[in-house]
Amino acid sequence: MTTNDDVAGQNSLQMTANLEKIEALSERLVKAVSGKAKSNPALSGPNQELFSNAMTSYMQEMIENPAKVFEHQAAYWGKSIKHYVEAQQVLAKGKLEAPTDTYQNDRRFSNPLWNTHPYFNFVKQQYLINSDAVKQTLEDAVDLDPKEKQRLTYFSQQIIDMMAPTNFLGTNPDALEKAVATEGQSLLDGLENLVGDLEANEGELVVKLADEKAFELGQNIATTPGKVIYRNKMIELIQYTPVTETVHETPIIMFPPWINKFYILDLKKQNSLIKWITEQGYCLFVVSWINPDDSYADVGLEDYIDDGFLTAIQEVKAITGQKQVNCIGYCIAGTTLCLTLSLLKKRGDKSIKSATFFTALTDFSDQGEFTPFLQNDFIDGIEEEVNDKGLLPSYIMGRTFSFLRSNDLVYTPAIKSYMMGEAPPAFDLLYWNGDGANLPGKMAVQYLRGLCQSNDFAEGGFELMGETLSLKDVDTPLCSIACETDHIAAWKDCYRGVQQMGSKSKTFIVSQSGHIAGIVNPPSKDKYGHFTNTDMSLAPSAWFEGAEFTKGSWWPRWESWIKARSGKKIAALQPGDSEHPVLGDAPGTYVMLNARR
C-alpha cells in the first residue's frame, strides 16, 4: 500500500528529474542565442532623441506648472499607499482574502486567484496603478510634437505590456498551478518550445503561433483545383479549374499582397474566396509572388508592376482571347494596382475593365498606428538593413505587425508556449500569419520613403517607370472594400484615397471586423455585416453615419457589382493552352519557398 509520504516522495523525485533536464536544454538555449546575427538597434526602438525630448517636455512642465506635476505624483503615491494599507487591513483580520478590486475587465487576469488571493491581487492592482500613472503622464505632455507624443505613447505601452505580472513565472498563477500539477513537466516543455523557436529562427525570438505540422499546402489548405500556366522571376500565374460549364467572358486576375502568401484567400473550402469566385461562374487567375532572396536586392516597384501586374494581364488576355480583364488587389497589391492603373492611363492602355481593392491604402497622409515606425530613425535603420542584406527579412515585418497587438500576438502565445508548455494550436489563419515573405531592398525603401513617408502618389505625383503617377489618373470603375476595425489599413484612410481617384464610378464598402476577418468573410458564416453609402463626397465620419448596414458578408454584393462588368457567358476554358503549357498543380512552387515545412 502506498502512503501519502511515498507519493509525495515520488512526485518530488519526478520534479527533480525534470528540472535536471533543464541543464541540457539550457546548453541548447545558449548555443541558439549565441548564433543570433547582430541586429540593428534602430529596428527595435526609437533613437534617444525621442526620450530626450520627452524628458525635456516633462522638466519644462515641472518648471511652468509644478502644482500639476506634484498633484499627479501625490495621486499616484496616495493610490499606492491606500492599496497597501487596504491589503494589510484585510490580512490583519486573519483571513486570506484580497481587498476590494475595481479592476475586473482585463482578460490577462482571468484566473480567479487574481481577485481572491491577496498576493496575486496586490501584484495585479499595483501593476495597473503603475500603468495608469504612466499613461496619465503621457496624456499631460503638452509640449511634444504630436507624432513624437504618439510614438512615445506607443513605445511606453510596449513597456507597460511587457512588464505585466502575467509575463513572469513567479507572478503568474496559471503557470505556477500547472507547474505544480505536472511536477515541473510544463516548465520543461515550455523551455523546449522556447529553444525550438530560437533554433528555428537563427537566434531570433519569433513565437510560433500555430502547429506547423498540422497543415500541408495543397493537401488541407490551398486546395482549390488549378494549374500554374506561367512563371517568371516574379510570379507564378495560376488558372483555376472552372466548376461551371459556362463562365463570364471577362476574366478576373487576383493580386494578393507579397508580404504574405496568397493562400489567405484559399485557406480551406469553407472560407475560400478563390473557390467561391469560381463557383459563381468566373474565369479566375491568381498571382503567386516569389519569396525573394538577396539576389532580388535591386528589384523595385517597377519590377512588381512590369513583371507582375502587366505581365499577368498580358498572359491572361492571350490565354482567354479577351481584350480586357477585371483586377483585384489586396493590401500592398491594391496600392500597386492603383499605381498600375495610373501608368496605363498615361499609356492609353485600357486593358483593365474594372478594379477591386481589398484594404488598400493609397493616401498615407494619416499614418495611423504605423506612425511610430514611419519616422526617419526607423526607416534609416531599415535602409541600413537592406543595404547590408539586400532585403528586408520577413520576421522584421512580422514582428512589427505583431507588436501592434502585442498582448494577443506576442505575450499571450509566449505565456502559453514557454511558461505553460502548451503546443501551439492547429489554426490555419495563424499558420498563414507565420508564413511571411521577404521584401526586396529597393522595393521596401521605395514603398516606405516615397509612398508612406512622402505620400507622393496622393500629393504631387510618384515618379516611376518614366511617368509621374497620381491618384487622380485612376479613372477605371472601381469597388473598394475596407474593414471597420482594420489596424493596418484603417477604413477612413482607404476612403480618403478612393475619394481622390478620378473614376466616375466608385463603390465603397466597409466590412465589419479587421484586416483579414473582414475580407475572409464567407456568406455561409453569416458572421460580419457591412456598410454602404453611395455619397462619396462626405467626410469619412459623415459617410459612416449615413451608411446603410446590411447583415452578412459583402461577397454577394461585390459579385453583383463585378457581374455587371464581366460580359456575357461563354464556354468555360480548362487551364493552359499550347502557348501556356501546364507547369504544375496549384498552389504552385513559389508559395513553398522559404516556407517553414
Assess if residue 195 is contained within a domain. no
Residues 115 and 39 grouped into a single domain: yes
Residues 171 and 251 grouped into a single domain: no
Q: What are phi and psi of 329, to 5 degrees?
A: -130, 130
CATH code at 577?
Answer: 3.40.50.1820
List residues with catalytic annotation. 331
Residues 269 and 330 grouped into a single domain: yes
Give a three-class secondary structure readout of 223-257. CCCEEEEEECCCEEEEEECCCCCEEECCCEEEECC
Of 181, 209, 239, the residue that ends a domain is 181
pLDDT digits (tens, 9 = 90+) for 432-486: 988 989 999 999 999 999 999 999 999 989 999 999 999 999 999 999 999 999 9
Q: Which amino acid is at 51?
A: F
Of 158, 181, 204, the residue that ends a domain is 181
Average pLDDT, rounded, for the chain: 88
Residues 300 and 151 grouped into a single domain: no
Q: How far apart are CA 139 and CA 126, in angstroms?
A: 20
Residues 580 and 501 grouped into a single domain: yes
Tell me what pLDDT residue 144 has: 74
Structural domains in the chain (count):
2
pLDDT at 76 over 80: no
Residues 259 and 134 grouped into a single domain: no
Residues 508 and 366 grouped into a single domain: yes
Assess if residue 414 is contained within a domain. no
Residues 254 and 371 grouped into a single domain: yes
Residues 376 and 464 grouped into a single domain: yes
CA max distance for the chain? 92
Tell me what pLDDT residue 68 has: 56
**In 258-288, which positions are buried (b, 16+ CB within 10 angstroms) versus exposed (e)?**
bbbbbbbbbbbeebbbbbbbbebbbbbbbbb
Residues 230 and 154 grouped into a single domain: no
Q: How far apart are CA 315 and CA 304, in angstroms?
A: 15
Assess if residue 83 is contained within a domain. yes
Of 181, 216, 244, the residue that ends a domain is 181
The grid coordinates of residue 224 equal 482549390
Tell me what pLDDT residue 596 has: 42
Range of the structural domain that residue 100 is part of? 35-181
- pTM score of the predicted model: 0.87
Lowest mean pLDDT: which of 63-77, 110-124, 365-379, 536-550? Answer: 63-77
The grid coordinates of residue 159 equal 513597456
Assess if residue 542 is contained within a domain. yes
Assess if residue 84 is contained within a domain. yes
Q: How far apart are CA 478 and CA 189, in angstroms?
A: 52
The grid coordinates of residue 74 equal 501625490
Residue 309 carries which DSSP code? I
Residues 107 and 244 grouped into a single domain: no
Contact between 295 and 232 (Cβ < 8 Å) = no
Assess if residue 198 is contained within a domain. no
Q: How far apart are CA 141 and CA 249, in angstroms?
A: 60
Task: Give residue 325's Cα distance to chain centre.
Answer: 30
Assess if residue 333 is contained within a domain. yes
Q: Which amino acid is at 214?
A: A
Helical ranges in 410-457 per DSSP H: 412-414, 428-433, 441-445
Higher pLDDT, 416 or 26: 416
CB atoms within 10 A of CB 231: 16
Residues 234 and 163 grouped into a single domain: no
Partnered with residue 240 across adjacent β-strands are: 226
Assess if residue 26 is contained within a domain. no
